[in-house]
Structure 1
Amino acid sequence: MFAYNKDTKLDDLGDGISRKIMAYSKNGMVVEVRFEEGAVAPLHSHPHEQFTYVISGAFEFTIGDETKLVSAGDAMYKEPNIIHGCKCVKAGMLLDSFVPMREDFVES
């Protein structure tokens, strides 16, 4: 029921990106994602709805055919199967929520 950040494993994904899977059930998932300046999350898509809240830093996000600069306090919605990705222009952290949960994030 409770997920304490201090007790949650930080996974290094490489290329300046790391994440903590904070909480999940089969219906949804909350993930903290940290980016070093210049790190890139390549364009990709998945069948999950995704909501992203910018906790800190600044990011150039592409969602579909649009690319915009977002920073702390901004949020985005990504519909299922839409192409999206980002480049971190100022080191920061995102909070991603997925519906349903990303099974691929917890598979060993």
Structure 2
Amino acid sequence: MFVYNKDSVLEDQGGGLRRKVLAYCENMMTVEVHFETGTVAPMHNHPHEQITYVVSGEFEFTVGDETKIVKAGDTVYKVPNIMHGCKCLKEGILIDNFTPMRKDFV
């Protein structure tokens, strides 16, 4: 029922990206993602619906054929199977929420 951030492991994904899986169940998942300036999350897609909340930093997101810059307090919605990716313009943290949960993350 309770997941404490201090007890979750921040895993190095390489290339300036670190990920911490927080609470999850079969139907949803929350993940904290840390980016160094200049880190690129390449264009990809997946069958999960996703909402990303920008905790800090500045990011250039491409979702489908649209590219926008987002900052702390902004959110980005991605429908299932849409191509998306981002570049970190200023070091920051994102909170990704997926439904259903990403089994490939655990």
TM-score, normalisation: structure 1: 0.97
Q: How far apart are 1:89 and its partner, in Å?
A: 0.2
Equivalent residue number for residue 101 of structure 2: 101
Equivalent residue number for residue 15 of structure 2: 15
Deviations 1:35-70 (A, max 9, x none): 000000000000000000000000000000000000
Aligned length: 106
Equivalent residue number for residue 35 of structure 1: 35
Could you say what secondary structure the match of 1:6 adopts?
A: helix
Q: How far apart are 1:20 and its partner, in Å?
A: 0.4
Equivalent residue number for residue 89 of structure 2: 89
CA RMSD in angstroms comes to 0.3
Q: How far apart are 1:78 and its partner, in Å?
A: 0.1
Could you say what secondary structure the match of 1:42 adopts?
A: strand
> What does residue range 46-65 of structure 1 map to in structure 2 within 5 Å?
46-65=46-65
Matched to 1:38, the amino acid is G
Equivalent residue number for residue 73 of structure 1: 73
Unaligned runs of 5+ in 2: none
Equivalent residue number for residue 6 of structure 2: 6
Task: Measure, in 2, the Cα distance between the counterparts of 1:22 and 1:105.
Answer: 11
Q: Could you list the structure 1 runs, at least 4 aligned residues long, displaced by more than 4 angstroms after superposition.
A: none
Task: Measure, in 2, the Cα distance between the counterparts of 1:67 and 1:53.
Answer: 16
Task: Measure, in 1, the Cα distance between the counterparts of 2:103 and 2:8.
Answer: 18
